[in-house]
Structure 1
Amino acid sequence: MSLGVVNLSIKAFDETNLHYKKDLVDNPKAVILISHGLAEHCQRYDYVTNKLNSLGYSVYRYDHRGHGLSDGKRGHLSNINNLVNDVGTILELIKNENLDSPIFLLGQDIGGHTFLEYGCKYKDSVQGMILCAPLVCDTLGLTKTDKISTDIFTFIPYNNTHNLTHDVVMQDSYENDPLILNKVTFGMYKSLRESCLNIIDDLHKFKYPCLILHGSSDSTVSHDDSKFLFDNILSRDKEIRILNGLYHRLLDEIVKDEIIDEISKWIENRLS
């Protein structure tokens, strides 16, 4: 039985207020922490959360600083370590509130990127990670800043919602969502670029069980990023799925139910 949705905020290490939600169930199989992608926010995962609740999982999710209802300059990031520290803040909260529950992380693009950075630095903190279209080595050059001449510029990949999902309803919802960011700062791209270089050097430190999911037709973050990730981490328990024809926002695709079911089965296999 679901115990309902709670909207809250928590102070990060630098006193930034982070908005988060928790959707709890009785006797959860596990707790899942969702970290959203660039330019979106945690309420975009209402459907995913409801589905996971129905499958027996409690779910926490939060808005990155500068996104959604969290504080901070819109679309800005001065250092990837700020996002990594935010993960630590939320995880400490989850562990204090769920003493006996295993915890899994579910991250979309920079959400997955942040979890990778976290996983390279901190060992044995959670039971596993599910990474959807994670930004890793930036094969497509999303974060290249050499041609950027202004501090704030249009985030082009998100202007064409047709490249994010095949689901027309979800495309419309992006366009009509006032919390979706249309611009990010030079600092965001610079920080992500530096972080990609760090991840390339540090992937040998990552040993968590992980399920990597990526659409073969993703034009925002290439599935080659996920292949590079799979080939370079030292996890003994790792799986990769390149999903034929799917776009960037896998959990907004028409086949999202099948993807969520696969995630659930992967988690269950690590609880037995």
Structure 2
Amino acid sequence: MTEVREHLLDRIAVREWPHPAPRLLVVVVHGYGEHAGRYDELAGVLTGYGAAVYGPDHVGHGRSAGERVVIEDFEDVVGDVHRVAGLARAAHPGLPLVMVGHSMGGLIAARYAQRYGEELSALVLSGPVIGVWELPGRLLALDEIPDTPISPGALSRDPAVGAAYAADPLVWHGPMKRPTLQAFVRTLRTVAEGGGIGALPLLWLHGDDDRLVPPAGSRIGVERLAGGRATERIFAGARHEVFHETDRAAVHAEVIAFLDRVLPG
């Protein structure tokens, strides 16, 4: 088990997976309904590579304050993540900063790169909610949001991943909420209109059997964001959470190879 430290930035709980002498910083931006603690294995890979890793629980998620899974404005969440990056840089000044965003976290990380891209050395997006994602519009058209939580089987072919997700008390197992769906729609539009990220290196990871966030919709957003310069890795048979998939060792290896290519030194 990787060592973990806990921080509190006002309402936001932050995990730190420390490194005694890091050569880079990584901020992990988790997805909808979950929490940063689910990325312990990825953090172990990254600390093994020489990173100090930080992961906030977004407002309304995990150990952070707020009504469960209610995000009124993703711009505020981007601001929270920026404060976490500041915490990391204050502890370890002068190091390159990499952001890894999964799913909803990919939307947040993409918007972060539009707002604060000059502070980043690389961006990794996993199953990102950018481009075209039809689910919020479909649900908002209904008079009542159905109480149909995310199916654990949609996350990974590894049944242990689904079982752990279903049993995790820090995961939200109820319906999506209207303010959050409305915020998704607004922020998808904001990112679409927010411009590219210039020369910032971008690695896009996706499972080709991702039914929660289909890769065809994300591709539109990735191409718009990176202007055709993204490194793309689509994993055959993989579902939504490539970092928790049966072939996650190959996913981890792609991340490390990408960082080797793009980071200074």
Question: What is the TM-score of this pair, normalised by structure 1?
Answer: 0.90
From 38, 42, 46, give the equivalent of 1:44: 38
2:152 corresponds in structure 1 to 161
- For residues 122-170 of structure 1, the C-alpha deviation after alignment (integer angstroms, 9 at most, x for no partner) is 231110110000001234x1211433324x65354x1x21111001111
Q: Spell out the pairing of 1:249-260 with structure 2 (5 A cutoff).
A: 249-260=241-252
Structure 1 position 71 matched with structure 2 position 65? yes
Report the secondary structure of 2:18's partner residue.
strand
**What residue ranges of structure 2 are gaps of 5+ in the alignment?**
none
- Greater displacement, 233-242 / 45-54: 233-242
- Greater displacement, 61-70 / 26-35: 26-35
Q: Spell out the pairing of 1:100-179 with structure 2 (5 A cutoff).
A: 100-139=94-133, 141-144=134-137, 145-150=139-144, 153-156=146-149, 158=150, 160-179=151-170
Question: What is the TM-score of this pair, normalised by structure 2?
Answer: 0.92
> What amino acid sits opposite 1:231 in the alignment?
E
Shift, 1:230, TM fit: 3.2
> What amino acid sits opposite 2:180 in the alignment?
M
From 258, 262, 265, give the equivalent of 1:270: 262
The structure with the largest helix share of the pair is 2
Report the secondary structure of 2:233's partner residue.
strand
1:14 corresponds in structure 2 to none
What is the aligned residue count? 261
2:52 corresponds in structure 1 to 58
1:213 corresponds in structure 2 to 205
> What amino acid sits opposite 2:159 in the alignment?
V
Contact 1:132 1:212 (8 Å CA) reproduced: yes
Structure 1 position 5 matched with structure 2 position 4? yes
Give the Cα–Cα distance (whole angstroms) in 1 for the partners of residues 197 and 249 of structure 2: 33
C-alpha RMSD of the superposition: 1.8
Give the Cα–Cα distance (whole angstroms) in 2 for the partners of residues 241 and 113 of structure 1: 18
Moved over 6 A (4+): none
The structure with the largest strand share of the pair is 1
Shift, 1:205, TM fit: 5.1
**What residue ranges of structure 1 are gaps of 5+ in the alignment?**
12-16
CA pair 206-229 structure 1, distance change in 2 beyond 3 A: farther
- Identity across matched positions, percent: 21
